[in-house]
Amino acid sequence: MTMKRSEFGSLGDRLGRMPRVLDDQRVRHVWLDSTCPALVVDRRKTAGRWEGQVVRVEDGELLVGWVSGDRISTIEL
């Protein structure tokens, strides 16, 4: 039997790694259209206007999409 090492390292290496942590500056709890709770996971400026990549749950489905910054308002936690 030959043993190969995965490109991701050994199982022991992978189990010993620290878990990934989301950057507090990138992920924000927000309101979408002032009514739907959502998370902003990325931002970009297109044609001089800010947009946010928003993740939300609707009818049990996870929805992800880019929306205008005008539709996003912040939530104080």
What pTM did the predictor assign? Answer: 0.61
pLDDT tens profile 2-12: 566 667 777 66
| pLDDT the model gives residue 3 | 61
pLDDT tens profile 5-42: 667 777 667 666 666 665 555 668 899 998 999 999 88
Domain boundaries, the chain: 21-74
| pLDDT the model gives residue 26 | 63
Residue with tokens 């090492």: 5
Contact call for residues 40 and 53 (beta carbons, < 8 A): yes
